[in-house]
A and B are shown apart, each in its own frame.
Chain A
């Protein structure tokens, strides 16, 4: 074999190996991208189906009312406690920080704006994601595993209408109400600490809070809450509906529901803040 043909063979195999490595690299990048696109497509289709079924008859009013109770009423203690202690901590932290600049007078403004614009909707969303999102995913996931979803279909009932639409309607409508109550309780927490621990004048705290508050502060928080309610119930339903088999599948669905809805809440909080206040 001549020297030139040997080097040609080496070059040929070198190029082939390079090509194989490059294709392997492309495959390792492409596979997760394709998986992500597939999951996004499925979620978008599921969300569209769910929203459409919220508006199309038949309507299951009894289920909607039951979900109002499960999602709204039973979340009130956890949301109320979160808002109360957040308001109290906020007043305390603001006081210790603001005394360095002789700006203690701004505590009422900081408490009321932080609670209504950000803390109440975000914390309520996250708490409801933990309580309600997990519960929805576990319930629907168990129904999937025990063939109850198939049973609904064989009884001529659309699971999207009977199970998912009532939860999405209740989540989207009840979270703003919870946040409104959370706003009041959170400001009340700040008031308690400011007046009873830090010696602020109650009248001036309330009047300052009222003066600084604009309707958009409350409205933006309520709109955020409605979006977060939609996200929490949608992710709970989606993960439960597409749950894998067995206890492990339901466990994984519950985890995905809480994690994905928490992340989406934080992302959409930024987007909505940008829309409202930039």
Chain B
């Protein structure tokens, strides 16, 4: 129990009649990188948003460091948020602010650090993701997609979080840039000694950044194990997903209609 950084137990979340999470359970050990895989629309992003408190759960428990965090708000939520860093799928950089201020945002506004000191840290963090200090004064719109991901990663690690969340970190990147981002994720997580939770469809990314893998299907985790066990899981859902087969127990929309 004490080794678990995050423990989700019997979490339910529905949007109207649509049940997205339906008895979801997940254990995330401290210092490990857990990757949640699953088809589109299975609730991966909702899972992250529930942990982050961006969405309330209908039922269930989310323990972080053994403390209940499901549906808490206000000051208590703010304290927990300080443990988190998040890399959003689209970057979610603030387009009216220069790059350095994006990276230093959590330091300046969340931790009330002075702007000069925060700028120095931001430039260090940019260097750690392979970006030169000249980038610091550019606006996000002036950067390529890969550079925006790096800035977003720098922002996620700027406050030295205990837990980092990655939402589809390689989506929209070419395979080489995706591999660069995967390497950076592994390096940053190791350097910080952080716990990581990622969601992705990209199997190359899974094989690179995961310690443990969880497969989400129909609102619950149907397989959970070490990365090394992924190819011999014995689970037909996992096999179909990791090999990208159209036919199998996971019904695609077209297959379901044909049936």
The answer to whether residues A155 and B54 also contact, given A147-B88, A148-B94 and a CB cut-off of 8 A, is no
Q: Is the interface of A mostly helix, strand, loop or mixed?
A: loop
- Expressed in whole angstroms, the Cα–Cα distance for A260 and B86 within the complex equals 36
- Expressed in whole angstroms, the Cα–Cα distance for A270 and B90 within the complex equals 46
- Expressed in whole angstroms, the Cα–Cα distance for A108 and B198 within the complex equals 71
What is the total number of residues of chain B having a CB less than 8 Å from a CB of chain A?
25
Which stretch in B23-31, B76-84, B128-136, B189-197 binds the other chain?
Answer: B76-84
Task: Kindly identify which residue among A147, A153, A162 contacts B81, using a CB–CB cutoff of 8 Å.
Answer: A153
Interface: A156 (CB within 8 A): yes
A145 to B, closest residue via Cβ: B90
Task: Kindly identify which residue among A60, A147, A153, A156 contacts B82, using a CB–CB cutoff of 8 Å.
Answer: A156
B201 CB to nearest A CB, Å = 18
- Expressed in whole angstroms, the Cα–Cα distance for A196 and B111 within the complex equals 61
Contacting residues of chain B (90-106) with chain A, CB-CB under 8 angstroms? 90, 92-95, 105-106
How large, as a class, is the contact surface on chain A? 10 to 19
Contacting residues of chain A (138-195) with chain B, CB-CB under 8 angstroms? 146-148, 150-151, 153-158, 162
Contacting residues of chain A (50-70) with chain B, CB-CB under 8 angstroms? 58, 60
Contact indicator A157/B105 (Cβ below 8 Å): yes
B248 CB to nearest A CB, Å = 31
Interface residues of B (CB under 8 A from A): 49, 52-54, 78, 81-82, 84-86, 88-90, 92-95, 105-106, 109-112, 155, 159
Contact indicator B92/A150 (Cβ below 8 Å): yes
Residue with the greatest number of chain B CB neighbours at <10 A, chosen from A147, A150, A151, A153: A151
- 8 contacting pairs across A/B (C-beta < 8 A): A60-B109, A150-B86, A154-B52, A154-B81, A155-B81, A156-B78, A156-B109, A156-B111
The answer to whether residues A147 and B92 also contact, given A154-B52, A156-B82 and a CB cut-off of 8 A, is yes
The answer to whether residues A148 and B92 also contact, given A58-B112, A156-B82 and a CB cut-off of 8 A, is yes
The answer to whether residues A153 and B54 also contact, given A58-B112, A162-B109 and a CB cut-off of 8 A, is yes
B137 CB to nearest A CB, Å = 17
Contact indicator B88/A156 (Cβ below 8 Å): no
Residue with the greatest number of chain B CB neighbours at <10 A, chosen from A58, A155, A157, A158: A155
Known contacts A154-B81, A154-B85; 10 further A-B pairs (Cβ under 8 A): A147-B90, A147-B92, A148-B95, A150-B86, A151-B86, A154-B54, A154-B84, A154-B86, A155-B110, A156-B111
